[in-house]
Structure 1
């Protein structure tokens, strides 16, 4: 089965779209970074390194220090698909991130987004 094309997309090309989506709703780049770091375990330098190196999304998630143990608590719909029902582990991680950015853009409190 061929891989989905999003896997080969550069994270650096998707990242500004996440920031734009958040900023349109009066959220900040720092909040986007906080959400990404919470999910993946990257520190600020590690996240910036991934962007600067131009790694694809598959590599971005493969090199993530540690997916947050509460990431399995992320539930809901993204693009008409239930996040918790996505079978492919990489696609599920991508959908987790999409869902978190959606919640940020919708004005949800950071404590709830980070599943505290």
Structure 2
């Protein structure tokens, strides 16, 4: 199932700052840490802690966030379903990148070893 144009347009408007607290709460509820969450974000995007915090403070949209990112070349190894969509079938690049991040956060929260989450 591929995403709809409306779904893809919603990804453009969502701010990273609005989703980040949900990512953090999800991983902390499962015994993981903010540092581990940042490690996952850094692996995917190349952003470090100060940049992540600045993006939250600035209220960047996911579009702006991923436009500035240097996506990890191994990101294409992230496969599976998230929010009812098979990641490898998503055609819109922004939606795919957001779902990559969602999938990594899910794997972290589910207790996967960091080496596996980071495709190491």
What's the TM-score once normalised by structure 1's chain length?
Answer: 0.94
Structure 2: 5+ residue runs without aligned partners?
Answer: none
Q: Which has the higher contact order (CA 8 A, sep 6+)?
A: 2
Match of 1:108 among 103, 106, 112: 112
Q: Deviations over 1:42-95 (max 9, x none)?
A: 12211111111111111011011x100110100111012111110001100001
What secondary structure sits across from 2:103 in the alignment? helix
Q: Residues of 2 paired with 1:20 and 1:43: CA distance? A: 20
Divergent runs of 4+, >4 A: none
Q: Residues of 2 paired with 1:109 and 1:41: CA distance? A: 20
Report what 1:86 is aligned to: 90
Q: Residues of 2 paired with 1:7 and 1:26: CA distance? A: 31
Report what 2:62 is aligned to: 57
Q: Give yes or no for contact 2:40–2:104 (8 Å, CA) kept in 1.
A: yes
